[in-house]
């Protein structure tokens, strides 16, 4: 496979791959000693990992002058001595030189060929010298697969020679083997303690799912990408896991079958072909064993579960001591695994595939048991029944397998359902909705009752997967159209999706089936409120209160409807009743505070916020609201503390960051205000205020180009919206005036502003901002000259524009009024309606 493909489907071992590469780099660049042996069963992904490390190392340009790579063949059968190994290394170096396109130097072929003309001992000595000379100051990275087979061929003498060569030269070995074999772990072995050992782990189902997702993405198989996220897809992955036991290779093989609606014959055939391919390998492994060891392995194959030494000894007619001794040997050889529990150890075959291959060969015309088990996981009971019903009369094999799988499924179904329900409610109590969803999905797959679909929909809704929840509730309605709970839940999902008309229809249907359900009336009212039908919403809330007079939430809903209708005093009465029924209801207090704010009764609103915080000091929304009320009361430092507390409780609260940014702008802390705006936008805040504030703060910080670019983007988004917004032009103009008194800078920047507001056809807003910024000019700190220059620049640039005629007249009179120390005769030059506009800006009391 290409490096790109290897990277694309790589899972589970990213950290290990990184560490291996860092070890190799340390050895090359810092002369550290690192040799690694990776062990794991056949198909566990050893070659994949070695290949990936090889490609990454080869592509590192800073190492190319310092490294030589020799990747030996996977099966070096010809190695029976150290000389044979040297010749294999030379061949690997020559191959790498061809493949590296000149980045690895070429070994002198004639010198290698000359070795064949020498006696063995001389050839071995000269070969080692040639390799040492060729390595020179570089480091040789030796990639060796099936190291146990290679060492077996070398024998003890060859191993000693290799060990000596590696220790005396700049060499690194990255090797693989199926188990941690005796030639590297026995104390009298030449390579004892030589390697850092890494046992490769099996895939778990989550990692297997990621592998399949990577394969699907690589192949552009969108059907597989979607399918593995469904309950059926996850069940099929479990079926492969049952077979593969975490074996990477098997997942790759079966990825092609996951979404197919293939006939069972095809699936059986593919599965059996896989086992047939593997059987010779496992039969060969059995031949390596002694008769007693074969007997143990054969028994474990039949047993299909972990068993104690005592039972193995009994069933194999061995003494306990003999069984224990033989088990220790097959454990070291990698045939079995051991699980210690208390004083006893339980043994089972290490590779499920080995058991499957041996089991298949023992069947005599009977369905293969493991494949019956596989089918029960691969297909749902409904799938099995449907396939059975579609079979032609002559499909004998398929019918036999399906009947066996169905019988076992039915026997276990009731027991599984009982266990699932117990687990489901336990997870709900723990609020572990992800696990609860998995159980609900299993219940849907096992029996598919209406309750199962409703529970699945509930969990999906809580997890925010609303479209999927809606599909579950719709399925429940299809099973029983007269179930009001299903219609209610469907309405909730539709409302979450803002499909309010459809939600209203669902609630109406639910009330038609059960008109005495208070919660449905409440949600119907909320939906009508979403549609702007507040009078109708009020009727629904009144009905909910009639059915359940002591329900505080219904009274809160009623208060909200009255507030939307502008009937604030009545709304306050509703909230008072809700608080009387439930004094600990923070939402009632917040809503009541909002109504006080509408009435500009901010001190009373603050009391509500304070009480809500006393009830729940960890409720970020309340701190946010308290900050807003304090801001209206111009208690800015306290407001900032409230916003900081809201953000501390929920750092992802975009509103909190936005409000904090606005307040900091009011306080003139534009740097911090800008940071808060950026954070709010990052978290999803999309209102016009945050973008326009951001532009304003950049301009206030004299970051003119950045600020103009930001203002351009904000005006593009919001000046042409259904509800146009152009921001705070007063602040922009005020800050421009304060930032400098250089007329040339004013002229340049005002020209840019005019051009920008012209571009977005909101030039009149700039004129209004100029008028509202007049109070800044009236300060004692501003000189008459600065005011006059400011007026002249604006007159120069805008006197020919009709939108600026009134703003210029007002600005001119304001400047002259200040120059004349408040001569009221200057004001009389304006008509009364214009004079009344200017007086508040000059802080002159109106008559």
Mean pLDDT by 10 residues, the chain (847 residues): 86 90 81 80 86 91 88 84 92 86 81 90 92 91 91 91 91 89 86 90 84 84 80 74 71 66 57 71 79 90 85 92 91 84 87 72 58 66 72 69 69 72 89 91 85 94 94 94 95 94 95 94 94 93 93 92 92 93 89 91 92 89 90 90 91 90 89 92 85 88 90 83 77 86 91 91 90 88 91 93 92 92 89 89 74
Q: Return the structure tokens found at 421.
A: 């329900």
Partners of residue 177 on adjacent β-strands:
39
Q: Are strands 344-349 and 67-71 parallel, antiparallel or unpaired?
A: unpaired
Select from 115, 147, 143 the least CA-distant residue to 39: 147
Partners of residue 844 on adjacent β-strands:
none
Task: Give yes or no for a contact between 249 and 43, defined as CB atoms under 8 angstroms apart.
Answer: yes
Task: DSSP for 295-309, please give it.
Answer: HHHHHHHHH-S-EEH
Q: Alpha-carbon torsion 634, 635, 638, 642, what sign?
A: negative
CA distances from 395 to 387, 388, 400 (A): 11, 10, 9
CA distances from 551 to 151, 489, 590 (A): 80, 20, 17
Neighbour count for residue 499 (Cβ, 10 Å): 16
The separation between the first and the last C-alpha atoms of the chain, rounded to the nearest angstrom, is: 89
Contacts of 420 (CB under 8 A, 6+ apart): 439, 442, 443, 446
The Cα 513–Cα 483 span in angstroms is 8
Partners of residue 477 on adjacent β-strands:
none
Domain spanning 3-201, CATH class: alpha beta
CA distances from 367 to 372, 375, 381, 405, 409 (A): 7, 12, 18, 10, 16
Task: Give yes or no for a contact between 147 and 177, defined as CB atoms under 8 angstroms apart.
Answer: yes
Q: What would you report as the CA-atom Rg of the chain, rounded to the nearest whole angstrom?
A: 40
Neighbour count for residue 681 (Cβ, 10 Å): 18
CA 523 to chain centre: 32
Q: Return the structure tokens found at 567.
A: 């009937």
The Cα 502–Cα 657 span in angstroms is 35
**What is the per-residue pLDDT for 595?**
92
Select from 89, 167, 175, 151 the least CA-distant residue to 124: 89
Task: Give yes or no for a contact between 356 and 250, defined as CB atoms under 8 angstroms apart.
Answer: no
**What is the per-residue pLDDT for 667?**
87
Task: Give yes or no for a contact between 770 and 803, defined as CB atoms under 8 angstroms apart.
Answer: no
The Cα 638–Cα 746 span in angstroms is 36
Task: Summarize the chain as % helix, strand, coil (round to 5).
Answer: 70, 5, 25
Q: Are strands 336-341 and 196-199 parallel, antiparallel or unpaired?
A: unpaired
Domain spanning 516-581, CATH class: mainly alpha
Contacts of 521 (CB under 8 A, 6+ apart): 511, 540, 541, 543, 544, 547
Q: Return the structure tokens found at 252.
A: 């790759």
Q: Return the structure tokens found at 653.
A: 């609260």
Neighbour count for residue 768 (Cβ, 10 Å): 17
Task: Give yes or no for a contact between 484 and 520, defined as CB atoms under 8 angstroms apart.
Answer: yes
Q: Interior CA angle at 720 toward 716 and 724, to 5°?
A: 110
Task: Give yes or no for a contact between 541 and 558, defined as CB atoms under 8 angstroms apart.
Answer: yes
The Cα 527–Cα 544 span in angstroms is 14
CA distances from 325 to 178, 292, 313, 790 (A): 21, 10, 11, 100
Neighbour count for residue 487 (Cβ, 10 Å): 24
The Cα 622–Cα 295 span in angstroms is 72
CATH of domain 206-379: 1.10.10.10
3-class DSSP state for residue 259? coil
Contacts of 213 (CB under 8 A, 6+ apart): 225, 228
**C-alpha torsion angle, residues 371, 373, 374, 379 (rounded to 10):** 120
């Amino acid at each position: 496979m290409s490096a790109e493909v290897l990277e694309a489907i790589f899972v589970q071992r990213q950290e290990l791959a990184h560490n291996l590469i860092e070890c190799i780099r340390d050895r090359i660049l810092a002369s550290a000693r690192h040799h690694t042996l990776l062990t794991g069963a056949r198909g566990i992904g050893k070659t994949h990992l070695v290949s990936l490390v090889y490609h990454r190392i080869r592509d590192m340009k800073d190492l190319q002058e310092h490294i030589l790579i020799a990747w030996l063949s996977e099966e070096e059968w010809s190695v029976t001595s150290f000389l044979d190994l040297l010749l294999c290394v030379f061949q690997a170096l020559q191959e790498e030189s061809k493949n590296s396109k000149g980045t690895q130097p070429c070994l002198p072929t004639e010198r290698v060929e000359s070795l064949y003309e020498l006696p063995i001992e001389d050839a071995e000595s000269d070969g080692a010298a040639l390799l040492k000379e060729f390595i020179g100051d570089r480091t040789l990275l030796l990639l060796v697969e099936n190291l146990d087979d290679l060492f077996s061929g070398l024998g003890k003498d060859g191993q000693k020679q290799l060990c000596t060569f590696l220790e005396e030269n700049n060499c690194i070995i990255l090797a693989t083997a199926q188990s941690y074999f005796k030639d590297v772990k026995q104390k009298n072995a030449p390579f004892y303690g030589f390697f850092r050992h890494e046992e490769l782990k099996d895939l778990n189902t989550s990692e297997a799912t990621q592998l399949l997702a990577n394969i699907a993405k690589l192949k552009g198989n969108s059907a597989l990408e979607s399918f593995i996220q469904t309950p059926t897809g996850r069940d099929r992955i479990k079926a492969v896991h049952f077979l593969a036991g975490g074996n990477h290779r098997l997942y790759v093989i079966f990825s092609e079958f996951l979404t197919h609606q293939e006939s069972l014959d095809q699936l059986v055939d593919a599965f059996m072909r896989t086992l047939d391919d593997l059987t010779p390998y496992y039969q060969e492994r059995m031949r390596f064993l002694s008769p007693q060891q074969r007997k143990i392995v054969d028994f474990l194959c039949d047993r299909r579960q972990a068993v104690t030494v005592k039972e193995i000894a009994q069933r194999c007619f061995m003494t306990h001591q003999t069984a224990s001794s033989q088990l220790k040997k097959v454990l070291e050889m990698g045939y079995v695994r051991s699980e210690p529990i208390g004083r006893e150890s339980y043994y089972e075959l290490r590779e499920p595939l080995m058991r499957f291959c041996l089991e298949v060969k023992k069947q005599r015309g009977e369905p293969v048991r493991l494949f019956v088990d596989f089918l029960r996981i691969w297909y749902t009971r409904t799938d099995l029944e449907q396939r059975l019903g579609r079979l032609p009369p002559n499909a004998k094999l398929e019918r036999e397998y399906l009947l066996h799988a169905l019988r076992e499924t039915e026997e276990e179904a009731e027991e599984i359902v009982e266990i699932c329900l117990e687990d489901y409610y336990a997870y709900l109590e723990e609020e572990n909705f992800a696990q609860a969803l998995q159980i609900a999905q299993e219940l849907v797959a096992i029996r598919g009752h209406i309750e199962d679909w409703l529970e699945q929909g509930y969990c999906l809704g809580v997890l925010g997967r609303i479209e999927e929840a809606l599909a579950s509730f719709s399925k429940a309605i299809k099973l029983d159209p007269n179930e009001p709970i299903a219609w209610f839940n469907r309405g909730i999902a539709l409302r979450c999706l803002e499909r309010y008309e459809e939600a209203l229809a669902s609630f109406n249907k639910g009330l038609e089936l059960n008109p005495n359900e208070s919660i449905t009336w409440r949600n119907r009212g909320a939906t009508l409120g979403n549609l702007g039908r507040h009078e109708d919403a009020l009727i629904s809330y009144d009905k909910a209160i009639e059915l359940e007079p002591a329900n505080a939430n219904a009274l809160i809903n009623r208060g909200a409807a009255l507030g939307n209708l502008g009937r604030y005093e009545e709304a306050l009465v509703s909230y008072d009743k809700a608080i009387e029924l439930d004094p600990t209801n923070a939402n009632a207090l917040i809503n009541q505070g909002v109504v006080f704010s509408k009435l500009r009764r901010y001190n009373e609103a603050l009391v509500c916020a304070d009480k809500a915080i006393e009830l729940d000091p960890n409720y970020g929304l309340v701190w946010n609201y308290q900050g807003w009320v304090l801001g209206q009361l111009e208690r800015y430092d306290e407001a900032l503390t409230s916003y900081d507390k809201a953000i501390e409780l929920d750092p992802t609260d975009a509103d909190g960051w936005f409000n904090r940014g606005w307040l900091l702008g009011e306080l003139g802390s534009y740097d911090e205000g800008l940071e808060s705006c950026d954070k709010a936008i990052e978290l999803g805040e999309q209102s016009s205020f945050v973008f326009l504030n951001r532009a304003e703060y950049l301009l206030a910080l004299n970051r003119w180009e950045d600020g103009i670019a930001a203002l351009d983007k904000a005006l593009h988004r919001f000046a042409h919206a259904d509800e146009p917004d152009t921001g705070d032009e007063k602040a922009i103009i005020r800050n421009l005036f304060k930032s400098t008194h250089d007329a040339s800078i004013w002229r340049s920047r005002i020209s840019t502003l005019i051009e920008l507001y012209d571009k977005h056809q909101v030039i009149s807003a700039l004129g209004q901002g100029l008028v509202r910024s007049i109070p800044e000019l009236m300060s004692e700190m501003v000189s008459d000259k600065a005011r006059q220059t400011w007026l002249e620049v604006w007159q120069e640039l805008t006197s020919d524009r009709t939108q600026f005629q009134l703003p210029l007249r007002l600005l001119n009179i304001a400047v002259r009024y200040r120059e004349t120390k408040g001569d009221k005769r200057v004001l009389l030059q304006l008509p009364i309606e214009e004079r009344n506009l200017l007086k508040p800006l000059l802080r002159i009391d109106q008559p």
